[in-house]
Amino acid sequence: MTRFAAPIAEQIWNMKYRYTPSNGADGDQSVEDSWRRIARALAAVEEAPELWEDRFYAALEDFKFLPAGRITSGAGTGRAVTLFNCFVMGTIPDDMSGIFDGLREAALTMQQGGGIGYDFSTIRPKGAEVKGVGADASGPLSFMDVWDAMCRTIMSAGSRRGAMMATMRCDHPDIEEFISAKADAARLRMFNLSVLVTDAFMEAVKADGPWELTFDGKVYHTIQARDLWNKIMQATYDFAEPGVIFIDRINQANNLNYCEDIAATNPCGEQPLPPYGACLLGSVNLARLVSDPFGDTAALDKEQLNELVSTAVRMMDNVVDVSRFPLEAQAREAQAKRRIGLGVTGLADALLMVGLRYGSDEAARQTSDWLHAIARAAYLASVALAKEKGAFPLFDAEAYLASGTMQGMDEDVRKAAAEHGIRNALLTSIAPTGTISLYAGNVSSGIEPVFAYSYTRKVLQKDGSRTEEEVVDYAVALWREKFGDAPLPDYFVNAQTLAPSDHVKMQAAAQRWVDSSISKTINCPEDISFEAFKDVYLQAWDTGCKGCTTYRPNDVTGSVLSVSEKDTNAPSGTAPEVVADSDAEPLTPHGDVIYMSEPLDRPNALEGNTYKLKWPDSNHAIYITVNDVVLGGHRRPFEVFINSKNMEHFAWTVALTRMISAVFRRGGDVSFVVEELKAVFDPRGGAWMQGKYVPSILAAIGGILEKHMIQTGFLAGEGMGLKSDPQAEVVNLGDAPRGPACAACGEFGMRMVEGCMTCPSCGHSKCG
């Protein structure tokens, strides 16, 4: 018997969360071993560790409580990684030395696996005078390009790539350049962008009044507020960025507004944090807590929910004490406030199980009730921890009770906090759960609606054969178990059929009882009018949301998963079955792009080519050998060897050899390796080679790999250097568009989930 509800769940565990020591020692042989490892690690700081280890294990068992990926993959492994998901870095000083000190801190943080957020509003605008050097400032966007290039070169812990959020205030003189930055599809690809929108700006928009763009007390420009708002909306309509963060509302609602100011968020926006702020994340799986699903007495088990939340709060509080931190300033900040981000996943599935249509008024009320119950249980658990272990160091009873979310908290909770203090300054947040929701059996993600009832994906086996797997939503699978082929009821809806206003309604319902923020994507149809699109953001503002992120598929952003013509099990009026298609011709690589269940064994003999690279100013050439394997009649890269007599190159060439070969052997659309290498620049300068400027040795190696892939037919031809070509024709299945290719597994089904492009097939996320 397996604990996994679906094959994809076990594959995600094996790829992402299973601990396999590199020295050959025993690691996790089963998911039970993973739960035991995590429970033991988080109980180690308790006075009765064996008692709490068993309780923590019970919370993890059967995927009821899902710590975020960094905890699940890192706790108890002894690896030098942080268990915190996200950080906001220190305020960027407006001087060259401080800017590059900040760059160094960002690199150290991402090296340990943390996503970061930065407010670039503190850097003087382009063209401003730089006193003492007789020059004009290059502006914050130029330094964002430097951050972007740095992020490309760093692989986060556990194969996660660094993710970054950049924010800018709506009154910064360079805000218009910030808004339009993503019009260049090759620029700032490692960043999510969001505009910090103030209450005063929204009032000026509604009044169609003037708006001053200022820096350091100087007014640079005066424009119409509504014109700037329309520019934000147009960029988001066209490119899905920037997002909008209602920053004054965030600071007003902050339980710590008496001792901190917030100007940035983590990469997905659910954690507004102060300078050096850090937050760990975890989710209660509501889909596992419904009794009698689809039955006459279907309901969420409130007693089980309260017990689970209480245990989860204790586990997450312990993470503060057992985790490493990339920077000492981050450790001090976390210890002083002990903020955690407990959220939910499986909300949409749970609503289906109790017979409610996601987006309806009844579902919104039920969501608010469930989130209220979670907030109560979390705050009371934190008060109990304060009685036992002490309140967070910056706790000030009078100021805390008069601040933010605490003003609207239940009176008995306020009274308990006043009497005993509270262990954690903030407790609730709804994070992206794309990967952990797959790990939990493909439950609906976060508070998002069900995206698709099912989709299929191809998996390449070691013998070269391919198998097809159906990935079914957890609630749909449960319905099939109970009722067989009976049609799904009318209240089964998905992201393709919901009106944007229904999305906003659900976000607002959840926000009432979330003291941090929410990562949520408002799916909009491609043909939505610009005026209706703008109304989505005004609805989010009017209903109390702390931010808004939309996704409208188009030629630039890509489309959602392809939709098949047939669907024999959908209720009337709903979208047909969604299929992650691998049969249609890929955009760039030749042949099927398929994900391998395991790395292929190396054949005894491979066909390959060796290329000589002579980098200017280097005494020794570099030799790159690329060997290929033939699968399904197509030749594809299998391994790389990079050699040089220059011993200064030894360490990085060996590392690059191993990393690229490991990626090649996993399969999928590995052409992204070329793109990433070609984007690396050397701050000391590049070189002119064969009439073209090459920004670094690594970029030159990327060019050789690209040339090889073209010559062997793996790539159709040199493209624009992007993971997806915005000028390429979209290949359709039937007449329905499909999404861009996943950089990890190659499936053409990337979609926006909770503010981040995510692959439903393998769980890979741009945001790490």
Active site residues: 266, 268, 270
Give the DSSP letter of residue 295.
S
Question: Of 24, 19, 59, which is closest to residue 39 (Cα–Cα)?
Answer: 59
Question: Of 435, 316, 312, 431, which is closest to residue 13 (Cα–Cα)?
Answer: 435
Q: Answer left, alpha or beta for residue 50, where phi above 0 means left and psi between -120 and 50 means alpha.
A: alpha
Phi, psi dihedrals of residue 532, rounded to the nearest 5°: -65, -35
Cα distance between residue 347 and residue 447, in whole Å: 5
Cα distance between residue 244 and residue 534, in whole Å: 12
For residue 458, give Cα distances in angstroms to 452, 455, 740, 748: 17, 10, 16, 11
Long-range contacts of 216-223, Cβ-Cβ distance < 8 Å, separation of 24 or more: 216/124, 220/125, 220/173, 221/173
Helix (H, G, I), strand (E, B) or coil at 645: coil
Cα distance between residue 604 and residue 727, in whole Å: 41
Q: What contacts 212, CB < 8 A, 6 or more positions away?
A: 171, 219, 221, 222
The angle, 0 to 180 degrees and rounded to 10, between the axes of the packed helices 302-322 and 49-60 is 120
Question: Of 282, 276, 259, 270, which is closest to residue 392 (Cα–Cα)?
Answer: 259
Helix (H, G, I), strand (E, B) or coil at 517: coil
Residue with tokens 């094959």: 7
Give residue 698's identity as a one-letter amino acid code: L
Cα distance between residue 696 and residue 378, in whole Å: 51
Cα distance between residue 277 and residue 427, in whole Å: 14
Residue with tokens 């390009």: 145
Helix (H, G, I), strand (E, B) or coil at 260: coil
Residue with tokens 């298609």: 581
Cα distance between residue 266 and residue 277, in whole Å: 9
Q: How many residues does the chain have?
A: 768
Residue 226 CB-density burial (10 A; 0-12 exposed, 13-18 middle, 19+ buried) = middle
